[in-house]
């Protein structure tokens, strides 16, 4: 690890803030899980800290874990080739030109069921190829019967955009249209596009509900419906919106339901949404095992933003995602770091979609070193070669923590995650 001149391993002078120490945390929490004093700048309400409702208590020791080298995976033996699925030849040509050679496990097991008209539950993580698993059979269905309509719901704008990008690649030069309906974009333009009756509507629950209430969209006309990343929708608080939408769907429909986990809430939605579904369960990838996890122990009176700045000055911090709890806090961090000459961009709910996309592209293409994000805005982001995740503010739940650090250490690579604690 590279260090600044004159700095001892595992510590450095952080200027006005005093001494920064990075070491395994020794918990001094009280019995029954009640910690002594404030646990982080995010919980303390201090400078740029979180002042809203507090989630579950997470013992800081859970943020410390040595990384293990990923075991060499035994390659999955697919029972199908893409040619075996019976896809329309025009669609198959696009699939092969898109670089798809062998189906992933979720594609291999879910596509046949969807091609045969069955409802499907797919339990699989992000990054397993599930988007193609539902897009390909539904694109084929529309090519065979252009009167079919497909509604795809995703929890965040970013994920909906990623689905739309894959749709464009697979539908290249095909007589199939789509409309992207997400917040942060002009709703009047979306209403106008819906009047042309696109084959595919891809959107987020909130915006789709808004369009229904404005009588600009009728979900009952869509007999093919996909709910993607249902666990994330429930985490964000879309349960009522999902229930609202399901109640307005056509009774005779084909449904696909994808989620990384299947708890009681997700199961209840699946029961109202699907009819005799087949269940495809893909082994969960434990990405956190090959992420080196540690804490940044802040001393009393230490300047938190100064510590973050000093970390970003180190050479090894090449591509970093920094998580904060509030939109206002993210804006303040961005403002200060830019003034200090650090190249950063940010995404959060108050930014319109064009601004969020510009920030993501700047980060993906290496124009900025760090992406500052809130939990909701970062859901569904899939960016290669993120070297570090920094939890500037602690997450509300341990599930949020696992999701945050999963932005690094992807595709079998090693990653590093740091969490600021007091």
pLDDT in tens, 57-73: 777 777 777 666 555 55
Beta-carbon contacts of residue 361 (< 8 Å; ≥ 6 apart): none
How high is the pLDDT of residue 235? 79
pLDDT at 277 over 80: yes
Looking at 281, 310, 343, the residue that finishes a domain is 281
How high is the pLDDT of residue 30? 33
Shared domain for 276 and 292, answered yes or no, is: no
Task: Kindly state whether residue 1 falls inside one of the protein's structural domains.
Answer: no
Sign of CA dihedral 180, 183, 185, 191: positive
Enclosing domain of residue 112: 82-281
Shared domain for 98 and 163, answered yes or no, is: yes
Total domain count for the chain? 2
Looking at 258, 281, 304, the residue that finishes a domain is 281
More confident site: 151 or 27: 151
Q: What is the pLDDT of residues 392-421, one digit of tens each?
A: 999 888 878 888 888 888 766 789 999 999
How high is the pLDDT of residue 206? 94
How high is the pLDDT of residue 21? 40
How high is the pLDDT of residue 18? 36
pLDDT at 5 over 60: no
More confident site: 414 or 284: 414
Q: Show the CA angle centred on residue 133, arms to residues 103 and 355, nearest 5°.
A: 115
> Confidence band (pLDDT; 50, 70, 90) for 143?
very high
Shared domain for 145 and 56, answered yes or no, is: no
Task: Kindly state whether residue 6 falls inside one of the protein's structural domains.
Answer: no
Separation CA 10–CA 418 (nearest Å): 13
Shared domain for 22 and 87, answered yes or no, is: no
Shared domain for 209 and 143, answered yes or no, is: yes
Shared domain for 59 and 97, answered yes or no, is: no
3-state secondary structure of 58: coil
Mean pLDDT over residues 15-19, rounded? 35
Task: Kindly state whether residue 73 falls inside one of the protein's structural domains.
Answer: no
pLDDT at 115 over 50: yes
Mean pLDDT over residues 315-342, rounded? 95
SS3 content of the chain, % helix, strand, coil (to 5): 40, 15, 45
Mean pLDDT over residues 315-329, rounded? 94
Separation CA 204–CA 242 (nearest Å): 10
Shared domain for 295 and 274, answered yes or no, is: no
Q: Show the CA angle centred on residue 259, arms to residues 253 and 262, nearest 5°.
A: 105
Shared domain for 55 and 92, answered yes or no, is: no
Task: Kindly state whether residue 294 falls inside one of the protein's structural domains.
Answer: yes
How high is the pLDDT of residue 308? 96
Shared domain for 247 and 143, answered yes or no, is: yes
Helix (H) / strand (E) element for 225: namely strand 224-227
Beta-carbon contacts of residue 333 (< 8 Å; ≥ 6 apart): 48, 305, 308, 322, 324, 344, 346, 372, 392
pLDDT at 193 over 60: yes
More confident site: 227 or 31: 227
Shared domain for 298 and 416, answered yes or no, is: yes
Task: Kindly state whether residue 76 falls inside one of the protein's structural domains.
Answer: no
How high is the pLDDT of residue 285? 56
Percentage of the chain exceeding pLDDT 90: 56
How high is the pLDDT of residue 71? 54
Contact 393, 325 (CB under 8 A): yes
Contacts 24+ apart (CB under 8 A), 21-25: 21/297, 21/299, 22/294, 22/295, 22/296, 22/297, 22/418, 23/294, 23/295, 23/297, 24/64, 24/294, 24/295, 25/60, 25/61, 25/63, 25/64, 25/295, 25/297, 25/421
pLDDT at 386 over 70: yes
- Max mean pLDDT range (31-35, 62-66, 208-212, 352-356): 208-212
Q: What is the pLDDT of residues 215-260, one digit of tens each?
A: 999 999 999 999 999 988 987 889 999 999 999 999 999 999 998 8
pLDDT at 35 over 80: no
Q: What is the CATH number of the domain that holds 17?
A: 3.40.50.300
Task: Kindly state whether residue 223 falls inside one of the protein's structural domains.
Answer: yes
Mean predicted lDDT score pLDDT of the chain: 83
Task: Kindly state whether residue 4 falls inside one of the protein's structural domains.
Answer: no
Task: Kindly state whether residue 75 falls inside one of the protein's structural domains.
Answer: no
Separation CA 12–CA 5 (nearest Å): 10
């Amino acid at each position: 690890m590279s260090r600044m001149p004159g700095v001892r391993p595992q510590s450095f002078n952080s200027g006005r803030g005093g001494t920064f120490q990075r070491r395994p945390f020794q918990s001094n929490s009280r019995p029954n899980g009640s910690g002594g004093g404030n646990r982080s700048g995010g919980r303390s309400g201090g400078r740029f800290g979180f002042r809203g409702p507090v989630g579950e208590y997470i013992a800081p020791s859970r943020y410390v874990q040595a990384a293990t080298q990923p075991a060499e995976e035994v390659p999955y033996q697919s029972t199908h080739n893409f040619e075996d699925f019976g896809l329309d030849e025009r669609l198959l040509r696009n699939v092969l030109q898109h670089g798809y050679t062998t189906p992933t496990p979720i594609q291999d097991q879910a596509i046949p069921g969807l091609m045969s008209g069955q409802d499907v539950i797919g339990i699989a993580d992000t990054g397993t190829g599930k988007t193609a698993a539902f897009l390909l059979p539904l694109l084929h269905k529309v090519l065979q019967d252009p009167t079919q309509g497909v509604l795809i719901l995703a929890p965040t704008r970013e994920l909906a955009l990623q689905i739309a990008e894959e749709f464009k690649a697979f539908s290249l030069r095909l007589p199939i249209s789509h409309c992207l309906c997400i917040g942060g974009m002009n709703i009047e333009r979306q209403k106008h596009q819906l009047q042309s009756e696109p084959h595919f509507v891809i959107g987020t629950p909130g915006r789709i509900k808004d369009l229904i209430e404005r009588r600009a969209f009728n979900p009952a006309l869509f007999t093919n419906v996909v709910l993607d990343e249902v666990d994330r929708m429930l985490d964000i608080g879309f349960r009522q919106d999902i229930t609202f939408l399901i109640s307005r769907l056509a009774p005779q429909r084909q449904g696909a339901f994808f989620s990384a986990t299947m708890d009681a809430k997700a199961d209840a939605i699946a029961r109202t949404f699907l009819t005799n579904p087949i269940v495809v369960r893909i082994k969960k990838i434990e990405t956190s095992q090959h992420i080196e996890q540690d804490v940044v122990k802040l001393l009393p009176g230490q300047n938190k933003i100064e510590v973050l700045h000093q970390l970003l000055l180190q050479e090894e911090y090449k591509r970093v995602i920094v998580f904060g709890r509030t939109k206002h806090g993210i804006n303040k961090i961005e403002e200060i770091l830019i003034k200090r000459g650090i190249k950063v961009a940010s995404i959060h709910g108050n930014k319109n979609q064009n601004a969020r996309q510009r920030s993501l592209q700047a980060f993906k293409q290496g124009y900025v070193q760090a992406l500052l994000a809130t939990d909701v805005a970062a859901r569904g982001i899939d960016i290669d070669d993120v070297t570090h995740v920094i939890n500037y503010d602690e997450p509300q739940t341990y599930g949020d923590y696992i999701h945050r650090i999963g932005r690094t250490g992807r595709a079998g690579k090693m990653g590093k995650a740091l969490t600021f604690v007091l």
